[in-house]
Each structure stands twice: as structure tokens, then as C-alpha cells.
Structure 1
Amino acid sequence: MLDDFVDQILAPVTHDLGGFKVHRVLPARDRTMVGSFLFFDQMGPGTMAAGQGLDVRPHPHINLATVTYLFDGAIDHRDSLGTRQRIEPGAVNLMTAGRGIVHSERSPGDERATGPVLSGIQTWLALPDALEESDPAFQHIAAAALPVIDQGGARARVVMGTLWGATAPTTAHAGTIYAAIDLAPGGTIPVDDGAEERAVYLAEGEATLDGMPLMPQRLYVLRPGIATTLASTSGGRVMLCGGDAYPTPRHVWWNFVSSRPERIEQAKRDWRAGEFPTVPDDHDEFIPLPDRPLTVSYP
């Protein structure tokens, strides 16, 4: 039975990638979006063997923005704009696909030598209708540039948008809130009711929401207009996400997102025909178009 302040609880689909697991709570059969968030993955925590590493070969995206935030480890991002950026814990990588971009994600060489650790969250944000075909772009915000709120035994880093009176410098294409909250034992922090749609996700440890215990790797979609409080007895790590509700639905197929199904069909044809741009220093291999993708929307 749901509480007065929780609208839905979404359970993950879990994939074991060898060395670490990925828990995916969006898109789900019962809900495809919370604000502009339409894809929500927790990577790890996990440790790979020495000499191994994460190797996500070049692949395409359209009409979305990806947001990568790490708790532990490091990833080398490369894309068809010529970007090469290492991301480490507390920083954020924002890649705006717009009309089309190709990127890869790999463990850095120094991490591979000892056996990479990996723990973090990767999300996709739907671009507003008017920005779906915008120019692709990339933005890296260092951890030191993101505002941090310390209060009540909680340390919250604002990844995107405005929360607790602080605004992140990360570009927001729509009204968006996103924060990583570390709760010390006995810590508390309010979850205000300012955003139209909100959800909380317990990534690690233990936490409660107005006294209701949160289960790990579940996305709790909150009812609008109700202020609540996160708390922890023994310590926990929680993500808060959401923002403005989208007036038009989004379709998801593999790495392609769009408000128009025909645009996804065009992207399929373009990737199959090799018409996307390539990653300048990582173009010898790529992920082919699948027959049956793991990521699909549920219209």
C-alpha cells in the first residue's frame, strides 16, 4: 500500500555485466518519465579484474541529453565533437545529443591496471520539443563547481537546477532538479514541493521518507505538492530527480529518443548506413543496431 506522499514505486530491471550490475528503473512499464528523466541507471558498485574495464563502444543518440554522475571510479568519455573528458566522483558530464551524436565510454588506462571500480548513476533527459534537433554539445562541470548544501547531517550536491536555495551551473534544457544526497547516521534533509514531478532513489545504505523505509534500487515517485523529509539512522545515499512535466510523450528505442516515432526510424536507417559522425580517436569499432534492444518505451 502506498503512503499519502508516494504515487508509484518502480522496481528495477537488473543486468549483470560481469564485475558489476546495472539497475534500470526508467523507462518502466508503469511509467516512462519523471519530469524530463526518461532513463535512470545505477551502475555498480562493482570491481572488475585487473586488466579489464568498462568498454562501451561508440554508439549514437538523438533528441536527448545524457547525465553521468559517479560515486566511485572514473570513465573516459569521447564523442564525435572531438571531446575527450575524464569524469570522476562528484563531477557531472552532460552530453546533449540534439540532432545526433556518437560517443564511447571506457575505463581509463590507469584504472585498468589495478582493476577498475565503478559506481554511479547515468540518466537520460528528454529534450523539449523545440530543442530536439538542436546542435549537439558537451559540458563537464567539476565537482568543486557544483553547489553543496551541508545541513542536518546531510550533504547534498546540486547536480542540476535549483534546490535548497542553490543553483547548479549545469545547463538545464527544461525545468529540472537533480541532486545527490549523502545522509550521515542520524541525518535529515527536507524534500520540498517546488517541482511538478519528483522522485527519490536509494542507491546505497539506509534511508526513510517521512518514516517510510526506502528499499534500495527502487524509484519512489512522489505525489505533487507535498513536502517530505529524508532521514537515515545508519547512513545512506539518495538521488533526487524531477522537474516540469512534459506535455508530449516520448518514444524510446535502443539509444534513440524522440517525440516522433518516424524520427527514430530515420535514426535507425542512418546508423545502419553509417551516416552518423564518428568519434575521432575511437572509430575502429562500434555497437551495431540491435534486432531487439534492451531499452524500449511502453506506449
Structure 2
Amino acid sequence: MSNINLIIEERAANIGKFMVGRLLPFREKRMVGPFIFIDHMGPVQMNERENMDVMPHPHIGLSTLTFLFEGSIMHRDTLGTAIEIKPGAVNWMTAGKGIVHSERTPEYLRHSTKTMHGLQIWVALPKELELMEPEFYHINEEDIPAWADGGLQYKLVAGEACGHQSPVPVYSKLYMLEIKSTTQQTVKIGSELYGESGLYILKGGIESDGNSFGPKQLLVAKDSTLCEFTIEANSTIYIFGGEPFAEERFIDWNFVATSKEIIEAAKQKWIAQQFDKIKGDETEFVPYPAPKR
């Protein structure tokens, strides 16, 4: 019997000037462990007149994880952070009670051709920490645990799995694991995982129980401990998940919380422009979306 409970096809979503492939949330599966939102961004080709400019916008109740395959993003936030994220590094921003950030093409790249490609992920915070003070951490690529085993190359982007722990300061039991293979291999890591588990195919494919799956598919496992499959040659996949929370999470725009009252308060605060401003990026902002008709 197949261990795959749900197959989610990547579907287009508009985030302003960019179209992204949205994986979570999905109507039949709102979260996988504490992971509540996953966008596959790109690959987007931009000419010398096109740039990424995600204007200042707020978050509450979550941590954001940005992980690039290609390109570069200049991150600024209301903690005073101004840092460039490059491929292989991890930006981990915990919004807690509220933070505002912007994501733009760095100045030195704005008049050249470029590519943007990566994952943008939201991880819900535990209820007791959803209104914590905001934090920001940048982890360089060389500090992310990486190892080889049986012809497979592993990288633990965040969390704890397979006897390794990422330096990304997460607040719940979770994992985000990259697996690459140049040849066809059998992957048996179920005993190393826990909670709920999802598998995203970025490149190549996998075979499980006689079924083949390819790029831009997210597979949600019934039981993470049964995670065994064949990975095809020249494939890159991401396995993520962890212990689910007991409480439901509500999402409204960029806000995540265990209660609609917390979200409504944040919404009104943003509409009134009472969040802190980003130093050096004060003049623009993303307005709260108008209701759909």
C-alpha cells in the first residue's frame, strides 16, 4: 500500500510583479508539521530594466525561511537588518508580534541581466511564542550541515534530522532536508524523520510503490517513518516536516495566528501604518489587499 497520502501540484500564484509556484497552503492540507506556506520562486529571468522589488510588508506569528538556488536578494527589516542573501545561505526571520521587511534586487545588480530562483517558506510559531519579540538570523552556506552517504548528497537546511542539527534557530521540532543524486539510488531515511513529512521534487524525479513523480510535485506522506523511495539520476528533492501543532492556525494575507482576534489587530495596525518603518526603505509599502469581489 502506498505511503503517499496526497499529491499537490505546484500552482501559479501572483505576488505582485512575480508569479510563483504555490505548494502550501492547499485546501486539502493546510500545513505539514509546522510548515504553513511554501512558494517555489522562479526561475525568473530579468533583463537590465527588470528587478525584484517586494516593498515593505508585515508579518506576525511565524518565521520566514528564504533559500535561494540562483540570484540575490537584499533583505531589509525593522530590526535594522540590511543583508544580501545569496544561493545556499539561509535567511531566518522570526516575526513574532510583528516585523516589516522588504526584498529587492541589490543595487549592483539592478542594471544587469539576472535570474531569481529559490524557495520562500513560512513556519508557524508555537502558540506560546507567537507574540515573541522579532528576531533575524543569517546563516552562511558553509555553516549548513552537509554530508554524503551511499551516493547521495545531503544538506540539512533547518531543524534536526539524520543525526545532524542545523544552526538555524528554529522554535519547534522540524526538519528541511535537501537530497541530491547524480545516479539512481534507493533512499531509506524514514527512521530518521518524525511527525508529518512532505517531499518536494525540484529537479528530476522519484519512484515510489510503482508510481513515478516529477518536478513541481509535492508529496505528503501518511507516515514519515515509512519514507523509502527511489530517487532518479540528476535529481534534487526537499523533505520537510516535523511535529504538528495541537491548535489550528489562521492565515490572513501575511499574518498567521492561533486566533482571528490577533490577526484582526495586526491588520488594523498595518492599515493605520502603525508598524515600525524600515530604515532606508520608508517611502513605499504594500497595502492590505482589497476584498475580493
The alignment's TM-score, normalised by the length of structure 1, stands at: 0.92
For residue 157 of structure 1, report the CA deviation from its aligned partner.
1.0
Query: Partners of 2:251 and 2:229 in 1: how far apart?
Result: 32
What is the Cα deviation at residue 230 of structure 1? 4.2
Q: Answer with 112-121 or 67-76: which moved more.
A: 112-121
Q: Is 1:96 the equivalent of 2:94?
A: yes
Does the 8 Å CA contact 1:26/1:38 hold for their aligned counterparts? yes
Select the residue among 91, 106, 125 that pairs with 1:127: 125
**1:271 alignment partner, SS class:** helix
Deviation of the 1:229 alpha carbon: 3.0
Q: Distance in 2 between matches of 1:274 and 1:95?
A: 21
Aligned equivalents of 1:21 and 1:164: distance in 2?
Answer: 34
- Counterpart in the other structure of 2:216: 217
Secondary structure at the residue paired with 2:131? coil
Aligned to 2:227: 228
Please give the secondary structure, in 2, of the residue aligned with 1:286. Answer: coil
Give the C-alpha shift of residue 94 in structure 1.
0.4
The 5 Å alignment of 1:245-284 reads: 245-284=244-283
Residue type matched to 2:214 in 1?
Answer: M
Whole-Å Cα distance in 1 between the matches of residues 10 and 3 of structure 2? Answer: 21
Instruction: Flag the 1:207–1:4 CA change in 2: closer, same or farther, 3 A.
Output: closer
Could you tell me whether the CA contact under 8 Å between 2:203 and 2:214 is conserved in 1?
no
Q: Is the 8 A contact 2:187 2:231 kept in 1?
A: no
Q: What's the TM-score once normalised by structure 2's chain length?
A: 0.93
Query: Which stretch has the larger CA shift, 14-23 or 98-107?
Result: 14-23
Are the equivalent residues in 1 in contact too, given 2:203–2:236 (CA < 8 A)? yes
Distance 2:66 2:15 in 1: 18
CA 1:74–1:257: 2 relative to 1, 3 Å: same
Mapped to 1, the partners of 2:264 and 2:211 lie a distance apart of 43
The yes-or-no answer on 1:165 pairing with 2:151 is no
Structure 2 partner of 1:297: none
3-state SS of 1:93 partner: strand
SS, match of residue 81 in structure 1: coil
Residues 1:274 and 1:17: Cα distance change in structure 2 (over 3 Å) = closer
- Gap runs ≥5 in structure 1: 294-299
* More deviation, 223-232/70-79: 223-232
Residues 107 and 116 in structure 1, CA contact (< 8 A), matched pair in contact too: no
- Give the stretch that moved more between structures: 221-230 or 48-57: 221-230
1:211 deviation in Å? 5.0
The alpha carbon displacement at 1:125 in A equals 0.6
How far apart, CA to CA, are the structure 1 residues paired with 2:116 and 2:186?
27
Whether the aligned pair in 1 keeps the contact of 2:90 and 2:141 (CA below 8 Å) is yes
- Which ranges of structure 2 fall in alignment gaps of 5 or more residues? none
Alignment-derived partner of residue 5 in structure 2: 7
Shift in alpha-carbon separation, 1:19–1:281, aligned structure 2, 3 A: closer
Give CA-to-partner distance per residue, 1:109-128, whole Å, 9 cap, x none. 23333222111111101000
The change in CA–CA distance for 1:19 and 1:268 in structure 2 (over 3 A counts) is closer
- Alpha carbons of structure 1 residues 20 and 291: separation in structure 2 relative to 1, 3 Å: closer
Q: Give the direction of change, closer, same or farther, for the CA distance of 1:89–1:225 in structure 2 (3 Å limit).
A: closer
Note the C-alpha offset of 1:212: 3.1
Corresponding pairs, count: 291
Q: Which amino acid aligns with 1:212?
A: N
Aligned pair in 2 of structure 1 residues 234, 112: CA closer, same or farther (>3 Å)? farther
CA contact (8 A) 2:78 2:101 kept: yes
